[in-house]
Structure 1
Amino acid sequence: MPIIAPSRRRWTIRRARALLRSRGPTSLMFRRRVAVVAGAVAIGVIAVLFAAAADTAGEWFERFSRSWCRITLVTTPLGFMALVWLTRRVAPAARGSGIPQVIAARTLPDLGVATLLTMRTAIVKVGLTLVAILTGASVGREGPTVQLAAATMALSHRWLRVPMRASVVIASGAAGVAAAFNTPLAGILFAIEELAAAYEQRVTLLVLSLIVIAGMVAQSLVGDYVYFGAIGATIPLKSAVLIAPVAGIVGGAAGGLFSRLTLAVALADHPVSRFARRRPLAFAGSCGLVVAVLGVVTGLTWGTGYTAAHAMIVGIDAPLWFGPAKFASTLATAVAGLPGGIFAPSLAVGAGVGNLLRAAFPDGPASAIVILGMVAYFAGVVRAPLTAVIILAETTGSRGLMLPMFASAFVADWASTQVCREKLYHGLSRTFAPAR
């Protein structure tokens, strides 16, 4: 048996103790990894539960609006007023989409976690978003899922006494997007284009890890699915050369207009914005009345607009006024100040834009034209063209349409900047920036 010198034995013991301190179960590195994995698993579970609850709430309102259509002229404005009052009183950081909050929290993670990404705020946001869906508001669950995902990750870090880093805020928000739509590639690109100001290599692995874990958990609960169904749309090159740029200009300009109007109410100083700040409940009630009137008159603009968008994607004719009407309904909801996202409603408005383009190009493939309109409008609103393309490719299974979609998205991004210079989510994030 070999004899170990006392000095070497002491050196080995010291090294083992040092390794245990730096990488053992009590070390910061170990606890950080556990916090990330646990948070990612929780994000996958919570995203699925939230999606199921939102779908159920949408179905309940749909049945109510069919049976008691005219009553919504009262219940929807009152619901908007109640939601804004509750949000301002209980959790002011829960208003709006949720993505601007995550962008603001990224700049100062410690302050952001303490103010914008608390579990109280996330729970209030989820509850009030579900109530907003029950009132017929033109909101989606995707933006709130991003804030909920970041708050869940912040909670796991708090429990394990690990400081929250900006890269973790980015990665958890991206995991929320991926789990909400079942679009892992879109989650990665959303982190690059929208959440991260400077994307570093070390963030890449973290984003990928969280998206893989959250996505696998979500798929294990609900199975693999395509959000709008596997459409598999294609378009001939000769048609794409003409239609894609036109879709980009029309959709991008419309998306830029939505962003400009939303930011004008939130940040500018004019009679409408002053009224919104001085009389928030009256302003919210007015917005709710606009949503209710449009919903009663059209019967199509309530909620996320998923059903109408899906019908147009598969080639079913829709009224030409759907796009402008859904645009107005979504704008009224977005500026009212209640919790809720704009991802899904924006896709529905984009389908309406594509439906208008179908009338201009009657000989083109209907599904492909509608999808190009969706890509263009969505890219115009969020100013994230790569994310727009990948989301539509993954949610419709139309990967054969990717080159025309890229053309439309990049043209739309340019067209949007001509109407609104500032990116929507980044502009709104200034209203949530933690005080230094």
Structure 2
Amino acid sequence: MSGATRVRQAALGDFAVRPRMLLITALALPIGALGALAAWALLRLIGLTTNLVFFWRWDTTLVAPGSGPHPWWLILGAPIVGGLIVGMMARYGSEKIRGHGMPEAIEAILIGGSIVQPKVAALKPISAAVSIGTGGPFGAEGPIIMTGGALGSMLAQLVHLSADERKTLLVAGAAAGMAATFNSPLAAILLAVELLLFEWRPRSFVPTVAAVAVGTVVRGFLLGDAPVFPVDATGLHLTPAIEVFAVAAGLTGGLLAIAATWLVYRAEDAFQKLPVHWMWWPAIGGLIIGLGGLVEPRALGVGYDVIDELLTGRATLSLILGILVVKTLIWSLSLGSGTSGGVLAPVFMIGGALGALEGTIFPAAIPGFWAMCGLAAVVGGVMRSPLTGVVFTLELTHAWGALLPLVIASTSAYALSVLLLKRSVLTEKIARRNLHLTREYSTDPLETFFVREVMTPLSHPASATADAECVRSSDTLRAVAYRFAETGKSSAAVVDETGAVIGRIDVQDLLHARRHDLTEEHRRSRILLAARSRNGRNAPGAGA
């Protein structure tokens, strides 16, 4: 095979991703429906467990444990029993059900080839229903992410796919479940991009959006298509003072996010030091939950009713303070026990409570406005996902006019979290499993240079031998790096469009792009003053 023929075949590879993308998108459509069904089933299962434990009735309606009077022994004992059941399920079923869902999904993507065991898909929602239904102050979204991701992974394992393609279907199922839980398709897509995909490429973005779209449509049939926490934004008038105070809301939200993250991992460290098997830790966490429930019963459970009161401005000061203190403590401390439950709903509640408290002294807007800012800020700080925090708040409330202050608050919290905290509540858990994860995305410098810019040219074009490793002069350095990695070669002949050899490229030449990237990042200069100084020296009569 001639060098020119091999070059032409390599060019055809640029289009190979397109039919694969369409195939993965087609597979993502039923996964989106399955993700929505999983979300509906888990919410019903949580409702059933809560009704059985706290109200002694058979009903699947989602209800808050603290919405009615209960004997003290039930409030104290139910979370302990629930934690014990979860611990036993984790020990004798699958340890993968421990945790709040997203780090487990990330770990499966990073080192597990995006392979999730079928028993995790079955045990995760059951353990979450037990944990939340017995009073655990957690959200349903983390387990739904893991369950939806498991369903996507299982379908992917039935088909001849690569690890990247399995990852796409895992994330598609997770995002579809998230979108169905909160009726928030755009936030679910952003969450997938910011936290799970580790790339922004058509091959993964298009199938994920397809799954989310199907999941949202199916959600409309199962749970309705109204906003989860509708806010009446009539009369919202933004002033410069409100925008300034949005910065303050963001900074305080960032501080709360840092404190909550710190508490989660100090609690995890404390549990690690206990002289008992980890199976018992969720029960000990349940004791913390029960004690907090005696102080503020409405801090128990998933808390959608409390979030609604905070975002619509109907929460009393005593409820705001109780949630801000008790919910933060019992959620942070019990999550460190390794029980099963999500982080988003508690973060919504804690952030909303902080904002509602600030709303008592900040400039008046609409009822619940500052609770919305607090929610966006704490999500941006805890999850390190500022755009997701903004879009979640808007899709939950449909208060679209609040966009700018939400962006300000969420970004301020994100900036403070980045400055003061090394890792987020998600990436810290990954780091503690001896894995490295970066959430910062930039253009690969190898993608910005062509072979012709770094190659060693030949004085006279030559013909390529049949077995020569060839690359095109118009290839990017990234394509060459992949070619070297695939073939094990460290050099290649460079050919032009006619197949004539015009140069040579070695693996060392690839460092040109990295050196340029380092220069762009670290070399600093004062351009305008330097130019003025040069012009002054070159002016007629200068130095006379």
Say yes or no: TM over 0.5: yes
Match of 1:8 in 2: none
1:229 paired with 2:253, answer no
Which secondary structure state, in structure 2, belongs to the residue aligned with residue 139 of structure 1? Answer: coil
Deviation at 1:286, TM superposition (A): 3.1
The CA deviation string for residues 309-335 of structure 1, in whole angstroms up to 9 with x for no partner, is 211221122312321211012112311
Cα distance in 2 between the residues matched to 1:240 and 1:145: 36
Residue type of the partner of 2:92?
R
Aligned residues: 403
The 8 Å contact of residues 256 and 420 in structure 1, kept in 2 or not, is answered as: yes
Structure 2 length as normaliser, TM-score?
0.68
* Aligned-residue offset at 1:428: 1.7
1:185, distance to aligned residue in structure 2 (A):
0.5
State whether structure 2 residue 55 is matched by structure 1 residue 86.
no
Query: Per-residue deviation at 1:285?
Result: 3.2
Q: Distance in 1 between matches of 2:388 and 2:102?
A: 14
Unmatched tracts of structure 1, length 5 or more: 1-21
Equivalent in the alignment of 1:255: 257
Distance 2:41 2:52 in 1: 17
Q: How far is 1:61 from its partner?
A: 4.7
Q: 3-state DSSP class of the match of 1:102? A: helix
Q: Identity of aligned pairs, percent?
A: 21
Secondary structure in 1 aligned to 2:422?
coil
Any conservation in 2 of the 1:101–1:432 contact (CA below 8 Å)? no
What is the aligned partner in structure 2 of residue 19 from structure 1? none
- Cα distance in 2 for partners of 1:226, 1:277 equals 47
Q: Is the 8 A contact 2:179 2:185 kept in 1?
A: yes
Is residue 2:422 matched to residue 1:421?
yes
Please give the TM-score of this superposition, normalised by the length of structure 1.
0.84
Q: Return the letter of the residue paired with 2:143.
A: P
Contact kept? 1:32, 1:157, Cα under 8 Å? no
- 2:358 equivalent to 1:349: no
Structure 2 gaps of 5+ residues are 1-15, 57-64, 436-544
CA contact (8 A) 1:77 1:285 kept: yes
Q: Check the 8 A contact 1:232/1:396 in 2, yes or no.
A: no
> After the TM superposition, which parts of structure 1 deviate over 6 Å for at least 4 consecutive aligned residues?
27-31
State the partner residue of 2:449.
Answer: none
Write out aligned runs for 1:210-249 (5 A). Answer: 210-232=211-233, 234-249=236-251
Query: Is the CA contact (8 Å cut-off) linking 2:389 and 2:410 kept in structure 1?
Result: yes
Cα distance in 1 for residues equivalent to 2:353 and 2:32 = 35
Question: Which AA in structure 2 matches 1:118?
Answer: Q
1:403-422 equivalence runs, <5 A: 403-422=404-423
TM-superposed CA distance for 1:405, in Å, is 0.1
Q: 1:259 is matched by which residue type in structure 2?
A: T
Relative contact order higher in (CA < 8 Å, ≥ 6 apart): 1
Q: Is the 8 A contact 1:35 1:160 kept in 2?
A: no
Give, in whole Å, the separation in 2 of the partners of 1:57 and 1:230.
29
Report if aligned partners of 1:57, 1:134 keep a CA contact under 8 Å in 2.
yes
Q: Provide, for residues 328-369 of structure 1, a one-character-per-residue CA deviation record: whole Å limited to 9, x for no partner.
A: 121123112111111111111111111221233274544101
Change (3 A) 1:426 1:169: farther
Classify 1:29/1:224 alpha carbon distance in 2 versus 1 (closer, same or farther; 3 Å): closer
Distance between the aligned counterparts of 1:129 and 1:214, measured in 2? Answer: 21
* C-alpha distance in 1 between matches for 2:333 and 2:376: 22
Take 1:53 and 1:306, find their aligned partners in 2: how far apart are those partners? 15
Q: Work out whether 1:132 is the aligned partner of 2:131.
A: yes
Task: Quote the residue 1:370 is aligned against.
Answer: 371
In structure 2, relative to structure 1, the CA distance for the partners of 1:120 and 1:104 (3 Å cut) is same
| Structure with higher helix content | 1
Query: Distance between the aligned counterparts of 1:133 and 1:370, measured in 2?
Result: 24
Q: Which residue of 1 aligns with 2:155?
A: 156
- Contact 1:47–1:145 (CA<8 Å) still a contact in 2? yes
73, 76, 101: which one aligns with 1:73: 76
Q: 2:362 is aligned with what amino acid? A: F
Displacement, 1:287? Answer: 2.1
* Residue number among 273, 278, 292 corresponding to 1:275 in the alignment: 273
Residues 1:29 and 1:182: Cα distance change in structure 2 (over 3 Å): closer
What does residue 310 of structure 1 align with? 308
CA distance in 1, matches of 2:250, 2:380: 9
Q: 1:433 to 1:99 in 2, by over 3 A?
A: farther
Determine helix, strand or coil for the equivalent of 2:345. Answer: helix
2:152–2:172 contact (8 Å) kept in structure 1: no
1:189-227 CA-to-partner distances (Å, cap 9, x unmatched) read: 112211132322322212211111222222233331211
Distance 1:274 1:108, change over 3 A: closer
**RMSD, matched Cα:** 2.7
**Structure 2 CA distance for aligned equivalents of residues 62 and 249 of structure 1:** 38
What is aligned with 2:141? 142
Query: Is the 2:32–2:172 Cα contact (8 Å) retained in structure 1?
Result: no
